[in-house]
Every structure is written in structure tokens, then in C-alpha cells.
Amino acid sequence: MRKLLIVIIGLSFLSFHSCQNESEKESSVKEETIVMEPTIIDDGRVSLNLNAMQKNHQLSNMRSHLEAVQEITLLLSQDNYEKASELAYTKLGSTTEMKLMCASFGDKGFENLGLEFHKSADIMSEVFKKRNKDNSLTALSNTLNYCVKCHATYKQ
Ligand code: HEC
């Protein structure tokens, strides 16, 4: 056990030493202790004061939104307007599930912005059906603008 310890200490000294040779400058920087404490920074966004379960639910929903816009972008590039239109509505549109979700966080401003976002996705879904790429991209950008706006305004 002691022997093993000595070997480990010896090896770590060696690796430290070889790093020092590679970059004298870097190794002269003193080791810093990283403190893993949550720091609450006021970044000007409104906090929704969500509990752990709501946070989890919201983030998983958000990851699904991101996946949806990625898939939609690819489908548009392939002129697959039917599938893009279907995804726009089912994944981002004003479905009952989405409306309930927006209302469940207890903030009217957030709820309204969320509903406007879903409405923009309903419109996007209709625009895709007309199979015009420029208009489709403009509609997608319009919906993405709501992602940008909400993220700049609210946090968990
Ligand atoms: C009505 C508000 C709202 C809209 C609209 C919205 N988001 Fe979010 N999103 C949030 C909030 C709030 C968070 C948590 C941010 C925080 O606490 O820092 C979040 C977090 C996320 C995250 C982080 C997920 C994780 O696992 O950490 C992603 C990705 C994301 N959103 C994608 C999107 C995309 C893409 C869209 C648009 C298609 C979108 N969101 C629209 C409110 C919104």
C-alpha cells in the first residue's frame, strides 16, 4: 500500500514536471481552488421561481423544441414541406398540451409570450404548406425570434 502511494506520488511529480517543461509560463500559474457553490447573479431576467420538478419538465420540453427546429431546418432544405408542416404544429404549435404547460408556471407575462410563440408556430405550419422556401424561412425565423425574446426575459 505504501509502495503504491510512493509510485503514485512519483508519477504525479513526473507528469507535473513534464508539463512544466512544455510550458514554463503555464505552470507558474498558481493552482486555484474551484468552489462549486451556486452563485446567484442578477442578470436582469425575471425568475419564474420554479420548483425542481417544474424545472426538469420545462428543460426537457425546451430540448424537444430545439430538436424540432433542427429537424424542421433539415426538412425545409430537402423540400419536405408536408413533414415540416406537421412537425411545426405537433411539436411547437398551440396543442392543448403546450397551452397547459405555459399556464402551469404561474406567470401571466410568461404564459402570454408562450402562447404567442405557439401561435407563430401554427402560422409557420400553414406557411410551409405553400411550399415557398423564402417564406418558410421567414416564418421559421419569426418563431425563433420568440425563443430569443423569452430567453432574454425569463429564467427558471
Ligand atoms: C415563453 C418562454 C420560452 C420560449 C418561447 C422558449 N423558451 Fe426555451 N427556455 C425558457 C426558459 C425560461 C428556459 C430556462 C432558462 C434559464 O433558467 O436560464 C429555457 C431553456 C431552454 C433550453 C435549455 C435546455 C436545457 O436542457 O438546459 C433550450 C435548449 C431552449 N430553451 C430552447 C428553446 C427553443 C429552441 C425555443 C424556440 C423554438 C424556445 N426554447 C422557446 C423559456 C422559453
CATH level 3 topology of 47-155: Four Helix Bundle (Hemerythrin (Met), subunit A) (1.20.120)
Amino acid at 82: E
Q: Whose CA is nearest to atom 8 of ligand 1?
A: 62
Distance CA 6, CA 21 (A): 23
Question: Which of 85, 89, 86, 88 lies closest to 128, judged by CA?
Answer: 85
- Hey, which of 108, 151, 153 would you mutate to test ligand 1's pocket, going by the most ligand atoms within 8 Å of its Cβ? 151
Q: Which whole-number Å values give the CA distances from 31 to 27, 34, 42, in the listed order?
A: 9, 9, 29
Q: Read off the pLDDT of residues 42-77 as tens digits, 9 standing for 90 and up.
A: 999 999 999 999 999 999 999 999 999 999 999 999
Structure confidence at residue 17 as a pLDDT band (50, 70, 90): very low
The answer to whether residue 19 scores a pLDDT higher than 60 is: no
Distance CA 135, CA 131 (A): 8
Higher pLDDT, 91 or 9: 91
Contact 114, 64 (CB under 8 A): no
Structure confidence at residue 36 as a pLDDT band (50, 70, 90): low
- Given this model, what pLDDT does residue 41 score? 85
Three-state DSSP at 15 gives helix
Strand partners, 47: 155
For the chain, domain boundaries = 47-155
Number of other CB atoms surrounding residue 115 within 10 Å: 15
Pocket of ligand 1 (CB under 6 A): 59, 62-63, 65-66, 69, 110, 113-114, 117, 146-147, 150-151, 154-156
Structure confidence at residue 35 as a pLDDT band (50, 70, 90): low
Share of the chain above pLDDT 70, in %: 76
CA of 141 to the centre of ligand 1 (A): 16
Global model pTM greater than 0.85: no
CA of 65 to the centre of ligand 1 (A): 8
Cα within 13 Å of Cα(43), Cβ side: 11
Q: Read off the pLDDT of residues 88-97 as tens digits, 9 standing for 90 and up.
A: 999 999 999 9
